Amino acid sequence: MSDELRWRACLVRLPDEIFFELIRNYVGEVKTPFNKHDLIARLESFLRSPRVHDRIVSLIDSADAKVLSAIALLHEPTYDTLFEFFEHQIAPIDLHHRVLNLEERLVIYSDPESRRIRFTPFLSETIAGVVRTENIVQLVPFNTTTTRSPWLTDAFLLGLFSYLSDAPDPFKTAGGVKKRVADEMRAVFPGIETRFGAATRLDAILSALTRLALLRPDAGRTTVSIDDWVAYGELTPYLRRVNLYAACLATSPADITDIAGLLSHLDAAIPPDVAFDRDTFDRIVRLVRINTGRRSALTAEYFQILIDLHVIIDEQDRYWWNTLAFRDPSFAAPEPHESPLIVHPNLEVTVKPWIEFIEGLRVCHSMRIRVFDVYARYELDKASLFRALDDGVTVEEVKARFEALAPVPQNFIFMLDAWADEHGSVQILDGIAVVVDEDRRHIIEHYGPFQRHVRRALAPGVYLMARADEPHWRAELAAAGISPVPETRRFAGDHVTHDTARSWRTSDVQPVTFLKPGPGAYTPDDTAAVRARIIESADLESLTDDQRLEFTRRVESRVILFPEQVAAAVARTEKVEAKGLDYIGKVRLIEQVLRGRGTALEIVERSATGAPKKHLIRPESLDKKATELVLVGTTIPDGGAIRIRVGKIGVVRKVRTGLFHE
């Protein structure tokens, strides 16, 4: 259905009382017999006039422009959506009056079924001149020379992977990070104790990795699986970054995908060369959330977290969006083929920041991180190699991985072979048996402190051990020179299975680019002067005082555009307000609204402190309690239950819930 047809249909369905009042106001007396379609055609003709367009625009003030801009940026929002957007910005009751007024002024209308708010079709082009992004989002052109690279990078993740693979239980049973782990991580990852939201980077990252299922706490044992990390590595660099940030912002794993989408949209929407304030950013987030349907709960300190992630930069009391946070070219290879690794003869390995993530995972899998920095320092040691071999990687694969990326000194390869040869020479099998190869059997065969714990020698080099003594005989194995003492190998049946659901977004979103900065916020005419001129030019001689008052009220509310609309004021006026001591008047108005449709009550309650408190109420009943009447209803728009003694009400005002719907 075209916009014009839809508008006409909405008008036809208006209750007669409202319909005729509109017609009378804008196109004059309605003569019988009448045809509603003809009347609508007359109104349409009125609205098509350039003179009318000019006047309507000249009466649009900045508060109108703000609401109209929101309607445009939210793409025909429903009433509820509009209220949601302006939550904490405009009091619901004021917003209600504003929307109703714009409907009465025929600037907007709404479809009673979908409750979507639209611009009146004949005016939409004219209104487009008023609608500006800047009316609700104050983006200030901003040039900065500051660059701030993100710290939560792929290279950082590789370091975490290497470290966490070596420290399988970073968490305390009661929650939080173990002190030993926290101390070590502070030494390995400088700056990891920096504040991050309400916590530290350390806590936040470990929580985020857990939400991403890259760390899997399970019955007091946290596991890090190379398969999980490789699967994560298969995302594009952009998606890895977005998912990681989302995991820092999410309150539950289920929300990560949604928040990752939200971040992508924000990244696409916010121009790089503008600054904004905190309120503006909140509005942008609301806009994106509403427009994209991404409504997952964000952690309360999300703004601070975005700053801490370097996604938002805080500079000179202003903020700007750091596009580098998502795609940072600063750490690219200086030469296209420069190796991302340096393998040193002292078994240290320098890992450069441009290493491809999965390649990095595969080499870091067999190394221990020593210090993370711009160039990270790793070290090959026996335990780290054993870890990779335990995960089913062969030493040939490990060598190939290094050799594919950098020249490798002979002693490095020698050590890999020597340690691989040693790997598996001592095994501990669940049951529990210690099995020692012939090469190393002599090391423990005659070592009394270990032999004391042997229950029975099952075969040469195969010892049955007591599970209860495990810590003791493990210590003796270490003392005998078996280092590292291997983990106990469990049989397939005992294998811990994980919920493999991974909570990350695996595809790019199609960004909605809806923030188009224009020439700045709309600067309205002096609407008061326009209204004064209308009143001055009108011939009010024939009107009674009440009619003159009504005319002035209508001019003030901008439903009178021209002086010749003076006849509109002749219409019957009804009492819509009761206040002060007019108890009966207040009761009557409440009763009227209870009986009628399409109206609500604006109540000004006298609070205990004396400060007036406004409510917009949809009344449900007027109950008698002892000698007092109590108004029972629900508040608009949130639907909360409310009970107020009529005696406590200062003002009762009958208002429409909407022109086009109840």
Residues that bind other proteins (CB under 8 A): 147-149, 190-191, 330-331, 334, 342, 344-347, 350, 353, 371, 373-375, 409-411, 414-415, 422, 439-440, 442-448, 479-481
Pick 149 or 251: Cβ nearer other proteins: 149
> Burial level of 523, CB count in 10 A (0-12/13-18/19+)?
exposed
d(CA 339, CA 334): 10
State in angstroms the smallest separation of the CB of 410 from other proteins: 5
Helix (H, G, I), strand (E, B) or coil at 598: coil
Structure tokens at 301: 């300190």
> Burial level of 392, CB count in 10 A (0-12/13-18/19+)?
exposed
- How far are the Cα atoms of 6, 368, 509, 596 from residue 1, in angstroms, in the given order? 6, 66, 30, 31
Phi, psi (5° rounding) for residue 122? -75, -15
Pick 199 or 371: Cβ nearer other proteins: 371
Pick 109 or 326: Cβ nearer other proteins: 326
Pair type for strands 433-436 and 462-465: antiparallel
Pick 43 or 341: Cβ nearer other proteins: 341
Pick 194 or 513: Cβ nearer other proteins: 194
CB 568 within 8 A of CB 538: no
CB 402 within 8 A of CB 375: no
State in angstroms the smallest separation of the CB of 386 from other proteins: 15
- How far are the Cα atoms of 118, 218, 390, 420, 429 from residue 490, in angstroms, in the given order? 66, 16, 12, 21, 6
State in angstroms the smallest separation of the CB of 189 from other proteins: 10
CB 486 within 8 A of CB 389: no
State in angstroms the smallest separation of the CB of 444 from other proteins: 7
Pick 260 or 416: Cβ nearer other proteins: 416
State in angstroms the smallest separation of the CB of 275 from other proteins: 20
Of 441, 449, 436, the residue nearest 486 (C-alpha): 436
State in angstroms the smallest separation of the CB of 305 from other proteins: 19
State in angstroms the smallest separation of the CB of 464 from other proteins: 20
State in angstroms the smallest separation of the CB of 371 from other proteins: 7
State in angstroms the smallest separation of the CB of 97 from other proteins: 50
> H-type helices in 406-544, by residue range?
410-422, 438-445, 448-451, 470-480, 527-537
Secondary structure (DSSP) of 132-170? -GGGT---EE---------SS-HHHHHHHHHHHHH-S--
Report the run of H or E that residue 454 belongs to, with start and end: strand 454-459
State in angstroms the smallest separation of the CB of 350 from other proteins: 6
Q: What is the DSSP letter of 435?
A: E
State in angstroms the smallest separation of the CB of 229 from other proteins: 24
Pick 369 or 629: Cβ nearer other proteins: 369
> H-type helices in 352-500, by residue range?
357-364, 382-390, 395-405, 410-422, 438-445, 448-451, 470-480
Of 437, 428, 429, 465, the residue nearest 450 (C-alpha): 465
Structure tokens at 130: 């008023």
- How far are the Cα atoms of 96, 516, 537, 561, 570 from residue 552, in angstroms, in the given order? 22, 39, 12, 12, 12
Pick 60 or 313: Cβ nearer other proteins: 313
Pick 169 or 422: Cβ nearer other proteins: 422
Pick 23 or 380: Cβ nearer other proteins: 380
Pick 439 or 628: Cβ nearer other proteins: 439
Pick 346 or 542: Cβ nearer other proteins: 346
d(CA 390, CA 361): 16
Residue in the structure block whose two tokens are 């959506």: 81
Residues 6+ apart with CB under 8 A from 445: 436, 451, 461
Structure tokens at 235: 């995302």
State in angstroms the smallest separation of the CB of 418 from other proteins: 8
Pick 284 or 444: Cβ nearer other proteins: 444
| HEC letters along 20-71 | HHHHHHHHCCCCCCCCHHHHHHHHHHHHHCHHHHHHHHHCCCHHHHHHHHHH
Region at 497 (left for phi over 0; alpha for psi -120 to 50; beta for the rest): beta
State in angstroms the smallest separation of the CB of 140 from other proteins: 24
State in angstroms the smallest separation of the CB of 210 from other proteins: 26
Pick 448 or 639: Cβ nearer other proteins: 448
Residue type, 372: F
